[in-house]
Amino acid sequence: MKKLIVFTFLVLFASSATVIGQCDAEGLSNQCIPKLAGGFNFLKSYKIDGVGGTKDKVEYSYVFTKGTQYLINLCANGANNDGIVVSLYDSNRNKVASSKANGQFFSSIAYPCNATGIYYIQYTFDGSASYCGGSALGFKR
């Protein structure tokens, strides 16, 4: 009987430790949606899961339209968005915006689009502890 109790305890402890260490990128993405600045309409949310540091970047693409202003915000646990940096690249892979400038981390970037095309939204980890976050993309005309 004691062996069964000890085994059950070990299984429960191991299961709870696994859940605590997992990334809730979807939950963090959902938290980001209502945090879009006033006047911006929600377009899409993004999960940022660096799989505990095994991925050095997470990238998505989206078609931006000329004459539209876009806002990308970040949600993560901890200070400085847990070291998550969002960078925006145009269709030629030129960086056009970043949430890290002069060593400072910002929780969002705004971009007034001057050319319609595919843009790349890239999330990287700069001193991140959890490699986990969420993001939301919004627009206004």
Residue 16 maps to a domain: no
Residue 40 maps to a domain: yes
CA dist 57 and 115 (Å) reads 25
Count of beta carbons in the 10 Å neighbourhood of residue 31? 17
**Average pLDDT along the chain:** 88
Residue 8 has pLDDT above 50, yes or no: no
Residue 51 maps to a domain: yes
Residue 9 maps to a domain: no
Q: How far is CA 74 from CA 10, 22, 83, 99, 124, in A?
A: 37, 19, 11, 9, 12
Residue 27 maps to a domain: yes
| Structural domain boundaries enclosing 55 | 23-140
Prediction pTM value: 0.83
- Report the domain count for the chain: 1
100: CATH: 2.60.120.380
